[in-house]
Chain A
Amino acid sequence: MEYMPNFQLHRPTSAEEAVKLRSEEPEALYVAGGTDMIVNVRRGIEQPENLIDLSGVTELKTITEDDEGLHIGAGITLNEIATNEKIKADYQAVAEAAAAVAGITHQQYGTLGGNLCLDTRCLFYNQSEWWRQSNDYCMKERGDICHVAPGGKRCFAAFSGDVAPAMLVYQAEVELVGPEGSRRIPLSEMYQNDGMNHLTFNPGELLTVVHLPKALAGSPSRYEKARIRGSIDFPLAGTAVRLEMDGKKVKDIAIALTGVNPFPQIVKGTEDYIGKAFDDASLDALRDNVRKQAKPMKTTTVAPWYRRRVIGALARRLTEELAG
């Protein structure tokens, strides 16, 4: 990985300045912690002529609270989220997911925004320049074909951020600032099912704040992932479950998945469980429903069938634990 393009580094001090720089250099890339981006630059996957370093933008590094809920700046580090008492108490899955990202050192400078905007990953994509070259590249980067599904026209690279599913079960919203001004959309609308282009950003937009609603504060939740190395790794499959019980009956439930599709996905059909009690048969049905909606492809060294089995088992286990 000795390769390093001759880019120019810009260090804006405000989000407005960053967006302005980006509109002047449309091909420029934003970089925050750089735990993933710098690796991709060095592997030649990204070949920027301009990098916009966001580490000096202090306005992105605040957590505030008001009647509406919690507002977390995109520049907050994952370790700050994992150790924040308020987040640990009110949005447990979010803190657990942040603590599950890579290793502790990465968490201390990797950011929330970086994890939510993480590029999709694939066995044939996250490789060195010479590796990809000798394999004729792939459609996500310079090539024409997909090695995961030859003959297909789609890219199946998997979204592998840990924090997104935990944010999704809390119906988080995100603030995007662009040259045309800012807009606020549900986090779920920030993603689409396309491994080549999984973010729905307009050109030049920057993720600045994530809003967690007060209405769901304290709603019990968990996050768990399967990975090859327990100490540091991307998820092979990960799931966040939020489950509120009213006695023995389900009051509210939401499940979201990561690592098994090109975008972090909310599991459909969970509203059917509301008002009912869980038993073995309905937990099995929930597990099978999760397995059906997870579509892992051969994007990791671990076989897709295993990841599909494990994601169902994780969702079932977390639901059973939360149901008590």
Chain B
Amino acid sequence: MSEKRNKTLLHCTVNGKERDDVVKDNILLADYLRENIGLTGTKIGCDGGECGCCTVLINGVPNHACLRLAATCQDAEIETIEALSEESRLSAIQRGFHEKLGAQCGFCTPGMIMAAEGLLRENPNPSEDEIRQGLAANICRCTGYVKIIESVQFAIDEINSRGKAA
């Protein structure tokens, strides 16, 4: 096999910033985000699409960054956990996980929050069943999920009450 690496010029938007990077054809989006750009909030857990820790939004839709080749994200808009806080204030979902103790060891939390973010954009008022369904591809070994569901519900309540106040 040739030692010369196949490369692609990747144009995409990461967390609102336009980028042009030369990436190896065989590099995964998770490695591109973590190693090339230094956005280490996206975690690599199982490395095979089973745990959901690497969930990021691509064009607003949750995707596993460990199963997506970076070079296939041409012209895509990628959002990671680092994009959620606004002027260094936690987003509603992040605050929910903080207030309701939705994180213990915290390793699954970035993926959970990104999956919840994708869910709430699609469906701003999900029922408990819909939250469970929306987070079905994410595994947490600590909390037993009850606190995670409460965290998302906290965020929904907060977003709704903020809407009324405005």
Task: Establish whether residues A7 and B25, one from each chain, have CB atoms under 8 Å apart when the complex forms.
Answer: yes
Task: Establish whether residues B61 and A109, one from each chain, have CB atoms under 8 Å apart when the complex forms.
Answer: yes
- Cβ–Cβ < 8 Å partners of B138 in chain A: 103, 105
Give me the interface of A with B, judged by CB distance under 8 Å.
1-2, 4-9, 11, 34-35, 38-39, 42, 49, 51, 53, 55-56, 102-106, 108-109, 231-232
Most A-side CB within 10 Å, residue of B1, B25, B47, B67: B67
Task: Establish whether residues B67 and A108, one from each chain, have CB atoms under 8 Å apart when the complex forms.
Answer: no
Residue B88 at the A interface, CB < 8 A? no
Give the interface SS of chain A, mostly helix, strand, loop or mixed: loop
Q: How many residues of B contact A (CB 8 A)?
A: 34
Chain A residue with the shortest CB-CB distance to B119: A104
Most B-side CB within 10 Å, residue of A4, A5, A56, A102: A4
Q: Considering the chains assembled together, what is the distance between the CA atoms of A16 and B49 in angstroms? A: 30
User: How many pairs, one residue from A and one from B, have CB atoms within 8 Å of each other in the complex?
Assistant: 91
Q: Considering the chains assembled together, what is the distance between the CA atoms of A38 and B27 in angstroms? A: 11
Q: Considering the chains assembled together, what is the distance between the CA atoms of A11 and B23 in angstroms? A: 15
CB distance from B47 to the nearest CB of A (A): 5
Q: Considering the chains assembled together, what is the distance between the CA atoms of A109 and B135 in angstroms? A: 15
Q: Considering the chains assembled together, what is the distance between the CA atoms of A39 and B58 in angstroms? A: 19
Task: Establish whether residues A35 and B74, one from each chain, have CB atoms under 8 Å apart when the complex forms.
Answer: no
Task: Establish whether residues A35 and B50, one from each chain, have CB atoms under 8 Å apart when the complex forms.
Answer: no
**A7-B6, A56-B74, A232-B137 known; 8 other A-B pairs, CB under 8 Å?**
A1-B48, A5-B26, A9-B25, A9-B69, A42-B48, A53-B72, A104-B136, A108-B63
- Cβ–Cβ < 8 Å partners of B61 in chain A: 108-109
Q: Considering the chains assembled together, what is the distance between the CA atoms of A95 and B2 in angstroms? A: 45
- Cβ–Cβ < 8 Å partners of B137 in chain A: 102-106, 231-232
